[in-house]
Amino acid sequence: MDTPIVPEAVAEASIAVPLRPPGLWRQGWYRFRRNRGGMLGLGLVALVVLVALLCPFVAPFAPNDQSAMLRGAARKAPDWVHLLGTDRNGYDVLTRVLYGASTALAVGLGAMAVASVIGVIIGGIAGYAGGLTDELLMRFAEFFMVIPVFVVILAVVRLFGIVVVGTWLESIPNLNLMTIIVLLGCFEWPPIARMARAEFLRLKHAEFVEAAICIGTKKRDILLRHILPNALPSLIVLVALGIGGAILAETMVSFLGFGDPKAVSWGQQLHFNYEALKVAPWAVLSPGAAIFVTVLGFNLLADGLTDAFNPRLRR
Amino acid sequence: MTPLLDVADLAVHFPVFRGPLRRKAGTVRAVDGVSLQVFRGETLALVGESGCGKSTLARAVLRLQEPSAGQLRFEGQDLLRLDRRAMKAARRRMRMVFQDPHASLNPRLRAGEIVGEAFDIHGCTRRERDAGVAELLTLVGLGPEHAARFPHEFSGGQRQRIGIARALALHPSLVVCDEPVSALDVSVQAQIVNLLMELQERLGLSYLFISHDLHLVEFIADRVAVMYLGRIVETAPIQSLYAAPLHPYTQALLAASPSIDPDRRHQHVVPDGEVPSPLSPPSGCAFHPRCPFAIANCRAEMPPLLTLAPGHDVRCWRAGEWAAAPQRAAIPVGS
């Protein structure tokens, strides 16, 4: 049985707070909070996340509702029923824009998750092992940096779409989108690997790592318990920046018509409506603005994080 | 009596690569044929200028740096021949206290996790670890309640206490202290030094104590080894080294450190010039370019480590003369 003793809890809280100086994350948050651009970015990203989570409840229509077409109301200007109008396929633009947020986030987060895993593993091994391993892995990373991602994605999406026909893979929903996510991840990792390498190289000679070796700590613990957590702040900045980049890349692929036809994507809306830019500009401008806001949000967030976690870089 | 730690002819050489093709341009002999012993319960101080190889030697002893040559015996085992499991077992018995308490504690771990890590590695139960952490924190003058805090919540002196507690986990016999107080405030230095000495007495520890502070060394050490450019130039018990230093370099070091005792003020034999590059050490005795007493033989040949008194070894061709004439005033000094 534990009865809460209020006076003691209050006393402890009032003493403990000033006694505890802020940790690394909290210090970063203090600096971040004072960064106007970073806070704006955080706000925009929060908005996008909120929209992605709430779109089934807020959206006025179903994402695949084309009934406006039957009523002859395609390319209709905004009114009280269709707040942002309808596009040439009879979709409600607002609904599609709201649903597009979850696709964009899935692409950004998914691609960067793949890129982070590959990048941290390759960069970490390169930085920690050093020597020839380092040299080979970094040349490998540079090889990936010079390949034009775009051409590869277009080719693979097309070829893969043909190859899977008739196999069990065809039953996976949004297979094309997942292919794009994985491919983006497979080409976005070199910057993360470079940063991870630099951090592992710096940290493997840190005194606390040597102290751990002295005690007899296993290599796995040295890497996962001592080095990786201290490398995270620098990596998170790159990941935030990469999310924006991945969203933009998926948009471009979709805009060219190579995206996932089953997914609701801003790029695809542009693809279907850019020809009617003069007739029904609302069908293009809204998804365009959504892309702009999302990518801007992630870039500002990354900028703010850089200033917060590497304060010495400024000035 | 067999020494706890027996270092014999230990060498640590670093190849230097230059140019676009990374051609080998030479070798830095950071530690070059060092022999020393640490006996049970004693403190051996290792002194010398920065860059003379003290820290490299300490790192080599703990195998943080692989030695290029020589032997390393600890508690009768040849450390350089141990397989991984035996080495892990040996690491229970030898530890290090680092110079900078701000760099030597992982900022992401709590004090309890830092101190308790050794217990986890060497197969203790959770309960044993928690009890051990509480005991160690109390031992170094902190309290068990500090275990839940992060390093940034402590002052420099408190952090060094955590570093000491970490080093003492699971009862090591040898602790290598690499300038453990030089990064601390003077007022805190004394506390930490006293703590180290008190712990030595209570736990029967042996220290290899690296320092450049001769006053501190006189206070804490039983024996002193003076290092210059990767070699030991003089080893002596503490009293005889301070009363009658035999190597000109030791004399210069003692003269350079200020003393409030007028009887202890040595004549200034401050060597001019810089420490030569270990990449191309001078011929013969490495100290001869800076030595006011150098003779022809010093340039030609490296003097051996001569034993002039029990426990007092000197690497100097003219050490016999100094030993015979303990009053240094008789020797002309080029000033």
User: Which residues in chain B have Cβ-Cβ distances shorter than 8 Å to A20?
Assistant: 149, 153
Q: Which residue has the higher pLDDT, B222 or A169?
A: B222
Look at residue B112 in the predicted model and tell me its pLDDT: 93
Q: Which of A21, A212, A218 sits opposite B152 (nearest CB)?
A: A21
Q: Indicate the pTM of the whole model.
A: 0.82
Digits of tens for pLDDT over chain B (335 positions)?
788 999 999 999 988 888 777 777 788 888 988 999 999 999 999 998 888 889 899 999 999 989 999 999 999 889 998 888 899 999 999 999 999 998 999 988 999 999 999 999 988 899 999 999 999 999 999 999 999 988 988 999 999 999 999 999 999 999 999 999 998 988 899 999 999 999 999 999 999 999 988 888 999 999 999 999 889 999 999 998 888 888 888 888 888 777 666 665 555 556 667 778 777 888 888 888 888 888 888 888 888 888 888 889 999 888 888 777 655 543 444 43
pLDDT digits (tens, 9 = 90+) for A189-227: 999 999 999 999 999 999 999 999 999 899 999 999 999
Identity of the residue in A23, A214, A221 whose CB atom sits nearest the CB atom of B96? A214
Q: Residue A195's pLDDT is what?
A: 95
**In this structure, are residues B228 and B303 in contact, taking their beta carbons and an 8 Å threshold?**
no
The amino acid at residue B47 is V
Domain extent listing, chain B:
251-335
For chain A, the domains span 47-313
- The pLDDT value recorded for residue B256 is 78
pLDDT at A67: 83
Least confident of A146-155, A247-256, A290-299: A146-155
Query: If contacts are CB pairs under 8 Å, which of residues 224-253 in chain A contact chain B?
Result: 225-226, 229-230
Nearest C-alpha neighbor of B287 from the set B268, B259, B314, B310? B314
Domain A47-313 is found in CATH 1.10.3720.10: yes
Contact B169 A226 (CB under 8 A): no
**ipTM, interface predicted TM-score of the complex:** 0.85
What is the C-alpha to C-alpha distance for residues B97 and A188, in angstroms, rounded to an integer?
42
- Candidates B87, B104, B153; nearest CB to A211: B104
pLDDT band per the 50, 70, 90 thresholds, residue A310:
confident
Q: Which residue is it, tokens 């928690």?
A: B130
Question: Which run of H or E residues covers position B217?
Answer: helix B214-220
User: Considering only CB atoms, which chain B residues are within 8 Å of A230?
Assistant: 106-108
- pLDDT above 50 (res A68): yes
Between chain A and chain B, the number of residue pairs with CB atoms below 8 A apart is: 69
Q: In what order do the strands lie in the sheet with B306-309?
A: B94-97, B174-178, B206-211, B43-47, B223-228, B231-237, B312-314, B306-309
Question: What pLDDT is attached to residue A1?
Answer: 43
Amino acid occupying residue A288: G
Q: Which residues contact B310 (CB under 8 A, 6 or more apart)?
A: none
Q: How far apart are CA A79 and CA B132, in angstroms?
A: 73
Q: What is the pLDDT of residues A87-133, one digit of tens each?
A: 888 889 999 999 999 999 999 999 999 999 999 999 999 999 988 99
Which of A164-168, A175-179, A311-315 shows the highest mean pLDDT? A175-179
